[in-house]
Amino acid sequence: MHVFKLILKNTLRHKLRSFLTIVGISIAVMAFGFMRTVITAWYAGVEASAVNRMVTRHSVSFIFPLPLSYRDQIARIPGVSQVSYANWFGGVYKDASDWKNFFPRIGIDPETYIDMYPEFLVTVDELAAFQKDRNACLIGAKLAQQLNFKVGDIIPIDGDIYPGKWEFVVRGIYHGKDKSTDETQMLFQWKYLDEQVKQRQPGREGQVGWYILKVQNPSDMSIVAKIVDDMFKNSLAATKTETEKEFQQSFVSMSSAIITSMKVISFVIIGIILLVLANTIVMSARERTREYAVLKALGFSAFHIIGLIGGESMLLACSGGALGLALLFPIARGFANVFPTFFPVFNVEIITIALSVATAVVSGIIAAVFPTINTLRTKTVDGLRAIG
Amino acid sequence: MSLISIQTVSKSYWRDSLEIPVLNNISFEIPEGEFLGLMGPSGSGKTTLLNLIAGIDRPTKGAIKVSDTDITTLNESDLAKWRARHVGFIFQFYNLLPVLTAFENVELPLLLSKLSKKDRKEHVEFALKIVGLSDRIHHYPRQLSGGQEQRVAIARAIVTDPIFLVADEPTGDLDRVSAEEILKLLERLNSEFKKTIVMVTHDPRAAEKAHMLRHLDKGELS
C-alpha cells in the first residue's frame, strides 16, 4: 500500500459526497472554460488583426461613409503600399429572428480586397468568376456549410440600410488560412451596390464605408495615420485612421459591459469551485481528526499530513477539473454549431484549457490550506481525544 | 538496566490564564523488558504520563530519557521519527483506519521505513500471525470484533519491532473474554519477545498481569 492508496480510499470514503463535489467542480470548471471561450471569441477579430494593415473610417463613426475619391489620395501617401475599401451592407436574409440567418454582408473592391486579406483562401478560378460578374459574391466556408450555400446559388437579401430586394450569385467559397480566420462573411462587389444605389437612391453613390491600408513598415503606422487624417481634416468627411487591431478593438469595446460582466462571473465561478471543495475538505478533515492524530503518533510527519489532506483535495479538484474540461469541448462545439455566425471563431483555446486546469489546481491547493493548518495545529493528544 | 528514565517531570495545562497542574515532579525508572502497570483514579495523570513517555506530549519541566536519548529535547520532526522507530501504540479504542484492511492498517507504520513491498508484506504477515489473525488479513475493521480489532492494533504496534509498547487502557472497551485474550497477548509479547510494556489501566485484572505497578494520585506517585 502506498500513501496515494490511502488518499484514494479517503476520497472514496463518502462516495456520494465526493461524487457531488466532483460534479460541482466539473460544472463550475466547464462554466468557467465556456465563459473564457466566449470572451476569447469576442476578441478573436482583434487577435487575428494583421500588423501591417490600417483602417481609415469617418472620424465620427464608421457608419458614416467616406467618398471613394479618398482612395487615390491615400494611395499616394509615402509608406502606403496598397489601398482597398469595403462597405457594410446590412440587410436581412429570410427570417431575421433566426440567428442562423445573420451573417456579415460586405461590399468590397474585387480587385484589391482579397490581395489585402491573404488569410482568405479562394481558388484562382473562383476569384476570377467573382471578379467577372457584377452581382457575384464569395461565401465563407462555415457560412456555406451552415446555410447549405453552393456555387451558383442565388442569395436573396432584403435591404435595410440600402432598401429594396437584392440578389447575389455565389461564385466562390473562401476558406480561412487558419482556424482564427472568420469564415462567416459574404463578400460581394461594391460596384454592384454603387450602381444599384445610383439608380435607387441617387446621391448616395460613390461612397464607401472604410478604407483598408497596407503599410510597408508597421513602425510607420502612426505617421501614416497622422498624414491621412491631416489630409482630410478640413474635408466634409474627416477621417480617423487606426491600426486594424484598434479598429477591431473599437467593436469589442461596444460590448465592454457584457465582457466585463462575463469576466466578473468567471471569477465568481472560481470562488464557487473553491467553496464547494473547501466545504468537503473541511468536513473530511474534521471527521478524521482522531485518525490524523493516530498517524502523527505513529510517526507520520507534517509533510505526510499535508500530503494526505492536500492529496485528497487535489484528487477531487483535478477529477472535477478533468470532467469539466471533458464536458467543455462538446458543449463549446455544440454552441458553435447552433450559433455558427454568432461568434465567427469559437474555439477552446490552449490558454482557456490552461486557465481551467490552473483554476482547478489552485482551488485544490487553497481548499486544503485551512484544514491542513488546523490538523497540524491540533496536538496529537487532543486529536486522540476527538470524537469523529 | 533502565530503558526509560523519568526525571523530575512536571506537566501543566493552561485553560485561558489558569494553570492546571497534572503531574508534579515525577521521577522513576523503567527497566528494559519490564511490564509496568500505571494505575490511579481518573484525572490522576496516568494517560498524560504515558503520552509523555511515548513522545506525543511534552513535559512542562523535567527530562525523559529513553535509551539515553532525551526525547524532550527533540524537535517535532525528529520526535516523529523517533516514535516511528521506538514506540508501539495500543489505544483503548483501537484507532484503526476504517478504510484500510487489517493488513493495510498493520502496514501503515512500515510505510515510514525503507522496507521493500515484499519485506513489508513479510513483516505484516508475521505480526498478524503473532496476534493470531492470519485468517483475517483482508478484513476491514467493521468486519472484526472488538477483541480482533485490538489484536490488529497490537500487530500494528509491534510490526516495526519497537523497543517498547505503550498501552492506554487496552482492555477498557472489551468484554471479559476478549480482555483476557489481549492481556495474555501482552504477557506473551513481554515474556517471549522481551518487549518493554507501559500500560495504563483501571482494571485490577489487567494490573495483575503487570510485573511492576506504579500508582498515581493527583499527579504524584504514591
| ipTM for the whole complex | 0.93
- Which of B48, B99, B112 is the closest to A299 by Cβ? B112
pTM: 0.77
Q: Do B95 and A384 touch (CB under 8 A)?
A: yes
Q: Do B57 and A381 touch (CB under 8 A)?
A: yes
B156 CB neighbours in chain A (<8 A) are 298
pLDDT at res. B221: 87
For residues B18 and B34, give the distance between their C-alpha atoms in angstroms, rounded to a whole number.
Answer: 37
Mean pLDDT of chain B: 93
- The shortest C-alpha distance from B1 to chain A (Å) reads 26
In this predicted model, what pLDDT tens digit does every residue of A102-122 receive, in sequence order? 899 999 999 999 999 999 999
Q: What CATH number is attached to the domain comprising B198?
A: 3.40.50.300
pLDDT at res. B154: 96
Pick the residue from chain B with its C-alpha nearest to A377: B76
Which of A299, A294, A290 lies closest to B87, judged by CA? Answer: A299
A18 CB neighbours in chain B (<8 A) are none
Q: Do A381 and B97 touch (CB under 8 A)?
A: no
Whether the per-residue pLDDT at A1 is higher than 70: the answer is no
Whether the per-residue pLDDT at A49 is higher than 90: the answer is no
In this predicted model, what pLDDT tens digit does every residue of B84-133 receive, in sequence order? 999 999 999 999 999 999 999 999 999 999 999 999 999 999 999 999 99
Q: Provide the pLDDT confidence category of residue B200 given band limits of 50, 70 and 90.
A: very high
- The shortest C-alpha distance from B97 to chain A (Å) reads 7
Phi, psi of A14 (to 5 degrees): -110, 90
A383 CB neighbours in chain B (<8 A) are none
pLDDT at res. A253: 78
- Which of B56, B91, B99 is the closest to A9 by Cβ? B99
Q: Provide the pLDDT confidence category of residue B16 given band limits of 50, 70 and 90.
A: confident
pLDDT at res. A82: 94
B126-151 as b/e: b if 16+ CB within 10 A: ebbebbebeebbebbbeebebbbbbb
Mean pLDDT (whole number) for A297-311: 94
Lowest mean pLDDT among A3-7, A318-322, B137-141: A3-7
Helix (H, G, I), strand (E, B) or coil at B141: helix
Question: Order of strands across the sheet with B212-217?
Answer: B87-90, B164-168, B196-200, B35-39, B212-217, B220-221
Q: Which stretch of DSSP H or E encloses residue A254?
A: helix A244-254
Mean pLDDT (whole number) for B70-94: 94
For residue B156, the enclosing domain spans 2-221
pLDDT at res. A97: 81
Lowest mean pLDDT among A30-39, A338-347, B38-47, B129-138: A338-347
A17 CB neighbours in chain B (<8 A) are none
A287 CB neighbours in chain B (<8 A) are none
Domain count, chain B: 1
Residues of chain B in Cβ contact (below 8 Å) with chain A: 48, 51, 54, 56-57, 76-77, 80-85, 89, 91, 95, 97-100, 104, 107-109, 111-112, 156
Neighbour-count burial of A95, counting CB atoms closer than 10 A to its CB (0-12 exposed, 13-18 middle, 19+ buried): exposed
In this predicted model, what pLDDT tens digit does every residue of A198-220 receive, in sequence order? 998 888 899 999 999 999 998 99
Whether the per-residue pLDDT at B219 is higher than 70: the answer is yes
pLDDT at res. B75: 93
pLDDT at res. A206: 93
Lowest mean pLDDT among A336-350, A356-370, B11-25: A336-350
pLDDT at res. A196: 93
Q: Which stretch of DSSP H or E encloses residue A145?
A: helix A141-147
Whether the per-residue pLDDT at A300 is higher than 90: the answer is yes
- The shortest C-alpha distance from B107 to chain A (Å) reads 8
Q: Do A298 and B83 touch (CB under 8 A)?
A: yes
Q: How many CB pairs under 8 A join A and B?
A: 64
- The shortest C-alpha distance from B25 to chain A (Å) reads 21
A4 at the B interface (CB within 8 A)? no
pLDDT at res. A158: 94
The residues near B144 (Cβ < 8 Å, ≥ 6 apart) are B102, B136, B152
> What is chain A's length?
388
Neighbour-count burial of B77, counting CB atoms closer than 10 A to its CB (0-12 exposed, 13-18 middle, 19+ buried): exposed
Whether the per-residue pLDDT at B168 is higher than 90: the answer is yes
Which of A199, A207, A173, A1 lies closest to A86, judged by CA? Answer: A207
Whether the per-residue pLDDT at A140 is higher than 70: the answer is yes
Q: Which residues pair with A156 in a beta bridge?
A: A167
- The shortest C-alpha distance from B95 to chain A (Å) reads 7
Whether the per-residue pLDDT at A388 is higher than 60: the answer is no
Under 8 Å between Cβ of B39 and B216? yes
